[in-house]
Amino acid sequence: MNHTMSTPSVASQSSDRTHYKMYIGGEWVDAADGEVFDTMNPYTGRAWATIPRGRAADAERAVAAAKTAFESGDWPKLTATNRGHLLRRLADLITESAEHLARIEVIDNGKLINEMLGQVRYIPQWFHYFAGLADKVQGAVIPIDKPETLNFTRREPLGVCVAITAWNSPLLLAAYKLAPGLAAGNTFVLKPSEFTSASALEFAKLVEKAGFPPGVVNVVTGFGAEIGEPLVAHPSVAKVAFTGSEIAGQRVYETAARGLKRVTLELGGKSPNIVFDDAELDNAVRGVISGIFAATGQTCVAGSRLLVQRSIYEPFIDRVVAFARTARMGDPLDIRTQVGPITTPPQYKKVLDYIAIAKAEGATCLLGGKPATGPECGEGQFIEPTIFGDVDNKMRIAQEEVFGPVLACIPFDDYEDAIAIANDSPYALAAGVWTQSVRRAMTMSERLQAGTVWVNTYRAVSYMSPFGGHKRSGVGHENGMDSILDYTKIKSVWINTAREVPDPFVMR
């Protein structure tokens, strides 16, 4: 496969590989010990680039660069309005590079070109939106209950923020964090997943081109335990914005707690997609398919539990199975492909393990349930779109996140039953409801335990709307107006305007 070349500063090319560098303090550097690791193309099964294997020394360098940039130089002198201008320039550069970035993501990640083109063309909106908010973050004058005293608040940036992202949507997840955080005046060290690091390094090239002062955005690469942990533990880091698995999220939370850092955690889910018998069934079928088979089910919000009202259960499931059977697997760079490969070898094993668990638990495999190996699958690790019927919500296949194209179908009797099954989950990230009743849409959206509820739609996200999980799906929210405030701290300023300081032994 012929890969688009990057400029020499970001990466160099030998016969069949691109060799990337990290971006620290405005310079393109190797890992301190010079180590690299291969990054794979999930469709060809071949290594296509090398990535620096950063460790504690590189975390140290990057945090030091971010700290220097936060405290001195041009960044802290920049007005909020001018920070907005810089973010807009970055947004425009992303737009110009959208096709290149989308292609890199597909090669590195195996996500479909169709999906990635849409996603990367949408990402600039995060930077435009938060650019607009940059100079609207303001404190308040408090009508304080003391004479001859002025009391007001300032909203100040936190300092050095660490952004750690999962492999499934590397640039989008980075935008969720960097756009509000930079708009608020912070500096960043971004560490993408070791499975999909290339796009973040390509993004750093645009940060450099946009003219951000050195050290404001640093991108380091490597493994969670080797560089992620030292970043989270670093005493100069004020906030950690993390997207990933529940297990790593817990670890990040514990490490960050020792330093009393602020944390947002965007973790996994086991989201219910609930179909009532009054739904527009054609739309509901499409919504169910999009919920679990788009992005090969490798999305945190996957609608991996399908709850269907018993009165329509069998015919509806038949329709979902018939539709899923038509899904075209193949090369993710082919615009016609609908289901791509599983991105990483551990994930492939995990999905197959869960399929075996579901069968052992007594669920009925209605479709798929095995690897796909046709010529259209290249050398990729594909799994057939898989649907299990007769699932009991207590089964592991209904309780645990699979993160792949595996749907568990569960019948319910009525509204109360649907709520009980939907909420019987350790997770609470998202939920879908399919009904024509406004009353039911309203009551379901109130009673469902989920950070996001979609009614008659699924998988909609926007820079404007808060996104986050409840219960074990996470801590805090990203996106929306309030998310910029999460990158600020409040300072209360008291100014005494009296001529004389009163009795020093009495509290004012």
Residues involved in catalysis: 266, 300
Q: Distances in Å between the alpha carbon of 447 and those of 263, 300, 465, 469?
A: 27, 21, 20, 15
Tokens of 479: 């996106």
Neighbours of 114 (CB within 10 A): 18
Q: How far is the CB of 179 from ligand NAD (least distance, A)?
A: 15
Direct distance between the N- and C-terminal alpha carbons of the chain, in angstroms, rounded to an integer: 73
In the complex, what is the shortest distance from the CB of residue 76 to ligand NAD, in angstroms, rounded to a whole number? 27
Residue of 104, 263, 300, 398 that binds ligand NAD (CB under 6 A) = 300
Q: Which is nearer to ligand NAD, 223 or 415 (CB)?
A: 223
- State yes or no: residue 166 binds ligand NAD (CB under 6 A): yes
- Distance (Å, rounded) from C-alpha 32 to C-alpha 506? 57
Task: Kindly state whether residue 180 participates in binding ligand NAD, applying the rule CB under 6 A.
Answer: no
Total residues binding ligand NAD (CB under 6 A)? 31
**Binding to ligand NAD by residue 245, rule CB under 6 A?**
yes
Residue number with CB closer to ligand NAD (248 or 327)? 248
Among residues 198, 223, 206, the alpha carbon closest in space to that of 48 is found at: 198
Does 267 participate in binding ligand NAD (rule CB under 6 A)?
yes
Determine the interface stretch with ligand NAD among 36-44, 118-126, 217-225, 319-327 (rule: CB under 6 A): 217-225
Phi and psi at residue 50, to the nearest 5°: -110, 145
**CA–CA gap between residue 280 and residue 125 (Å, rounded):** 32
Q: Is 225 in the site for ligand NAD (CB under 6 A)?
A: yes
Residues 306-365 that bind ligand NAD (CB under 6 A): none
Minimum CB separation of residue 221 from ligand NAD in Å reads 9
400 binds ligand NAD (CB under 6 A): no
Among 58, 108, 115, 194, binds ligand NAD (CB under 6 A): 194
Distance CA 262, CA 265 (A): 10
- What whole-number distance in Å separates Cα of residue 127 and Cα of residue 135? 14
Select the span of 128-136, 189-197, 213-221, 365-373 touching ligand NAD (CB under 6 A).
Answer: 189-197
- 237 touches ligand NAD by CB under 6 A: no
Q: Which residues pair with 47 in a beta bridge?
A: 40
DSSP 185-249: T-EEEEE--TTS-HHHHHHHHHHHHHTPPTTSEEE--S-IIIIIHHHHH-TTEEEEEEES-HHHH
Interface positions with ligand NAD (CB under 6 A):
164-168, 173, 191, 193-194, 223-225, 228-229, 232, 243-245, 248, 251-252, 266-269, 300, 401, 403, 429, 469, 474
